[in-house]
């Protein structure tokens, strides 16, 4: 099927970087998106062994620094550095602040009224600059205890403005990079509260309508591999990840109007293993939405931008294995194969490592990913007219 590279709506140069000559999906992928997997292990020994839970992705969370750790991968180290001991990164909550399990003051009477009453002074302190830092820390620690914290934050006078002040206040320190660990901690606590708002059913649409995710993009656009910047990127990715985890087409439609895909692709190539994983999860969730799949497969530039980064990551995994990352990559490829033109292109540009037994040892004990790889192989070996049209995603829709 002919393919017209005059693309519609993609930002950042349509993620191209050398794809302008692509006229159809069929041939070898155009070049221009190299870079491989530099930066794996940027976190060194600082963020391993933290507790808690990054719900849908199966990533442990928590500890003093609240950073996610890949389940079963074991980022070296066992403690958060003293510089980040007070920060609290976002959590992909399994039920979310808006979940049905949360009790409210109207449901349970006095006890819950007292509980909510205890956070009102802290919320009020967010609007007082001299008290804000302590309030940010306390609220970020307690946000899981209050299912209805998000509506309180959103509807309280001046609170969201105060959180945005924290975010824009560090913009001058992004370039040239001069962000301190203390400043990174403080803004990450603000981001944790914004994630609470982004995850709640009552406030999510309001969060998008106000275009608040755009305030996070300067953080995702940073390239410094210093710990404060990596932590800031990871926490910002967590907010976007919490949005897409809700499987809401409104979220995907919003993100497709922004530069989130080019930003995620760059992090997928150059970020730490944790950041790569969350960025790949975001791209995966966008692909799993029909609008997202059609958008990425609409032009050769978009398709090859995504597929080239995925291919580079597969090559990186040969030397730096990551089961969790491989799982998300396979899901991305499997979803791309649902599009007829993308499926035809993947017949020639799917990495060899996914066609042979390169990752057989890594996938021992993971029947799901092995099954998805088999489904992908079957879809690409079928005659064009008989290729998969959606069935090959059965059971692969979740994180």
Q: pLDDT value at position 383?
A: 73
Is the model more confident about 77 or about 150? 150
In this structure, is residue 342 part of a structural domain? Answer: yes
CA distance 296 to 80: 38
CA distance 116 to 103: 10
Same domain, 241 and 258: no
Cβ(43)–Cβ(274) below 8 Å: yes
| Mean pLDDT, residues 268-291 | 97
Same domain, 242 and 293: no
Position 3 pLDDT exceeds 70: no
Same domain, 349 and 218: no
In this structure, is residue 66 part of a structural domain? Answer: no
Q: What is the mean pLDDT of the chain?
A: 77
Cβ(181)–Cβ(83) below 8 Å: yes
Is the model more confident about 30 or about 149? 149
Q: What is the pLDDT of residues 20-71, one digit of tens each?
A: 333 345 443 333 333 333 332 233 333 322 223 343 333 433 333 333 322 2
Peptide bond into 392 cis (omega under 30): no
Same domain, 353 and 276: yes
Domain-ending residue, one of 216, 246, 276: 246
In this structure, is residue 241 part of a structural domain? Answer: yes
Cβ(238)–Cβ(231) below 8 Å: no
3-state helix, strand, coil in the chain (%, to 5): 55, 0, 40
User: Domain range for residue 6?
Assistant: 1-51+253-399
What does the DSSP 8-state code read for residue 80? -
In this structure, is residue 112 part of a structural domain? Answer: no
In this structure, is residue 189 part of a structural domain? Answer: yes
Cβ(335)–Cβ(388) below 8 Å: no
Same domain, 227 and 281: no
In this structure, is residue 77 part of a structural domain? Answer: no
The CATH number given to whatever domain includes residue 150 is 1.25.10.10
Domain-ending residue, one of 222, 246, 270: 246
Q: pLDDT value at position 67?
A: 36
Same domain, 95 and 241: yes
Reported pTM = 0.74
Same domain, 296 and 375: yes
Position 213 pLDDT exceeds 60: yes
Same domain, 219 and 92: yes
Same domain, 240 and 323: no
Residue 393: both structure tokens together: 């995603």
Q: How many domains does the chain fold into?
A: 2
Q: pLDDT value at position 382?
A: 82
In this structure, is residue 58 part of a structural domain? Answer: no
pLDDT tier at 111, thresholds 50, 70, 90: low
CA distance 20 to 118: 58
Lowest mean pLDDT among 61-70, 110-119, 312-321: 61-70
Domain-ending residue, one of 246, 276, 310: 246
Q: What is the pLDDT of residues 225-236, one digit of tens each?
A: 999 999 999 999
| Mean pLDDT, residues 261-278 | 97
Q: pLDDT value at position 103?
A: 36
Question: What is the secondary structure of 191-202 as a DSSP string?
Answer: HHHHHHHHH-TT
Q: What is the pLDDT of residues 127-143, one digit of tens each?
A: 999 999 999 999 999 99
pLDDT tier at 118, thresholds 50, 70, 90: confident
Position 310 pLDDT exceeds 80: yes
Same domain, 288 and 322: yes
In this structure, is residue 173 part of a structural domain? Answer: yes
């Amino acid at each position: 099927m002919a393919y017209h590279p005059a693309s519609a709506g993609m930002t950042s140069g349509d993620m191209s970087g050398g794809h302008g000559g692509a006229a159809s999906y069929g041939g070898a992928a155009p070049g221009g998106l190299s870079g491989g997997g530099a930066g794996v292990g940027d976190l060194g020994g600082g963020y391993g062994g933290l507790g808690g839970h990054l719900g849908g992705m199966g990533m442990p969370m928590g500890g003093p620094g609240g950073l996610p750790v890949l389940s079963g991968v074991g980022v070296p180290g066992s403690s958060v550095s003293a510089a980040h001991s007070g920060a609290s990164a976002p959590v992909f909550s399994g039920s979310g602040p808006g979940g049905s399990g949360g009790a409210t003051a109207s449901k349970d009477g006095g006890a819950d009224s007292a509980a909510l009453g205890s956070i009102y002074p802290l919320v009020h302190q967010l609007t007082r600059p001299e008290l804000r830092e302590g309030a940010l820390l306390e609220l970020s620690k307690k946000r899981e205890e209050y299912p209805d914290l998000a509506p309180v934050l959103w509807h309280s006078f001046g609170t969201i403005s105060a959180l945005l002040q924290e975010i824009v206040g560090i913009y001058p320190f992004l370039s040239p990079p001069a962000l301190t660990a203390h400043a990174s901690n403080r803004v990450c606590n603000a981001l944790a509260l914004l994630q609470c708002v982004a995850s709640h059913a009552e406030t999510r649409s309001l969060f998008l309508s106000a275009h608040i995710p755009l305030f996070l993009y300067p953080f995702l656009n940073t390239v410094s591999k210093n710990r404060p910047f990596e932590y800031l990127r990871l926490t910002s990715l967590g907010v976007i990840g919490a949005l897409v985890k809700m499987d809401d087409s409104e979220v995907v439609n919003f993100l497709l109007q922004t530069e989130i895909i080019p930003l995620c692709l760059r992090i997928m190539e150059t970020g730490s293993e944790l950041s790569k994983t969350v960025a790949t999860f975001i791209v995966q969730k966008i692909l799993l939405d029909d609008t997202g799949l059609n958008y990425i497969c609409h032009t050769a530039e978009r398709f090859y931008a995504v597929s080239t980064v995925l291919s580079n990551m597969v090559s990186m995994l040969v030397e730096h294995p990551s089961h969790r990352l491989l799982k998300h990559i396979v899901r991305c490829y499997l979803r791309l194969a649902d599009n007829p033109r993308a499926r035809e292109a993947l017949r020639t540009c799917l990495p060899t490592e996914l066609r042979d037994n390169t990752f057989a040892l890594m996938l021992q004990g993971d029947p799901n990913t092995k099954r998805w790889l088999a489904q992908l192989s079957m879809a690409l070996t079928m005659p064009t007219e008989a290729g998969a049209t959606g069935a090959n995603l059965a059971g692969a829709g979740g994180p």
